Amino acid sequence: MARVALVTGGTRGIGAAISGALKAAGYTVAANYAGNDDAAAAFTAETGIPAYKWSVADYDACVAGIAQVVAAHGPVAVLVNNAGITRDAMFHKMTPGQWKEVIDTNLTGLFNMTHPCWTSMRDAKFGRVINISSINGQKGQAGQANYSAAKSGDLGFTKALAAEGARAGITVNAICPGYIGTEMVRAIDEKVLNERIIPQIPVGRLGEPDEIARIAVFLASDDAGFITGSTISANGGQFVV
């Protein structure tokens, strides 16, 4: 039986690419999304991957949503924590609400999703947890104190949980994308992209969602069984750790 993979934020952008790549690699894939019903319906119609709606910021909703996926497809063997939001503002203008929204989704969301899956992974003596962090969690970014803090926290979560999961056959790794050519990034003013963003990327271009997806497929595979607690940077050389 094919292993079940659950991808949060899995119907758009990088998440959609990961969902599609995992399906192509032979996994039974379920995609979570939070709000865009039209995009989710179009994604399912195009890929045949079922989409399930809940907010990763709500622990009880995650428990219920994961239970729905398990009932339909079986225990989750591969969890890709990709869901994320931005609420950008310079710190002196940032509101407590903007801080909390981003932390609740981008950091606490990892706990909310991983915790309900952890016991079944331990029982199965197999699991793959793949956390999508960000270049801005590694280097910081002005106007993103909330986002950078959450994405940096994702890396600490990854390392600590990797230490706990290793003897149970569970690997936990993080991917830190740089600027990827998603709908959101390509919506940036062309002049800003060409004059301020792309010149900072040594390879001279945006990354593609499929390039991040291929990393996720590898980390989900048996071939990656000796890799855990790692952070893989995919940023075209923009920030070298």
Paired with 51 in beta bridges are 31
The whole-model pTM stands at 0.97
pLDDT one-digit tens code per residue, 47-65: 999 999 999 999 999 999 9
Mean pLDDT, range 62-84, rounded to an integer:
98
Q: What confidence category does residue 189 fall into, taking pLDDT thresholds of 50, 70 and 90?
A: confident
Mean pLDDT, range 184-188, rounded to an integer:
83
Instruction: Write the single-letter amino acid at 23.
Output: K
Angle at 36 between CA 32 and CA 39, to 5 degrees: 85
Q: What confidence category does residue 185 fall into, taking pLDDT thresholds of 50, 70 and 90?
A: confident
Written as one string, the DSSP assignment of the chain is: -PPEEEETTTTSHHHHHHHHHHHHTT-EEEEEESS-HHHHHHHHHHH---EEE--TT-HHHHHHHHHHHHHHH--EEEEEE---------GGG--HHHHHHHHHHHTHHHHHHHHHHHHHHHHHT-EEEEEE--HHHHH--TT-HHHHHHHHHHHHHHHHHHHHHGGGTEEEEEEEE-SB--HHHHTS-HHHIIIIIGGGSTTSS-B-HHHHHHHHHHHHSGGGTT--S-EEEESTTSS--
Mean pLDDT, range 121-148, rounded to an integer:
97
Q: What is the pLDDT of residue 11?
A: 98
pLDDT one-digit tens code per residue, 214-241: 999 999 999 999 999 999 999 999 999 8
Q: What is the pLDDT of residue 154?
A: 98
Q: Which residues contact 22 (CB under 8 A, 6 or more apart)?
A: 5, 7, 29, 78, 80, 213, 216, 217, 220
Q: Which of 27, 52, 147, 179 is catalytic?
A: 147
* Residue 33 falls in the annotated catalytic set: no
Distance from C-alpha of 86 to C-alpha of 101, rounded to nearest angstrom: 9
Q: What is the pLDDT of residue 188?
A: 85
Q: What confidence category does residue 1 fall into, taking pLDDT thresholds of 50, 70 and 90?
A: confident
Q: What is the pLDDT of residue 219?
A: 98
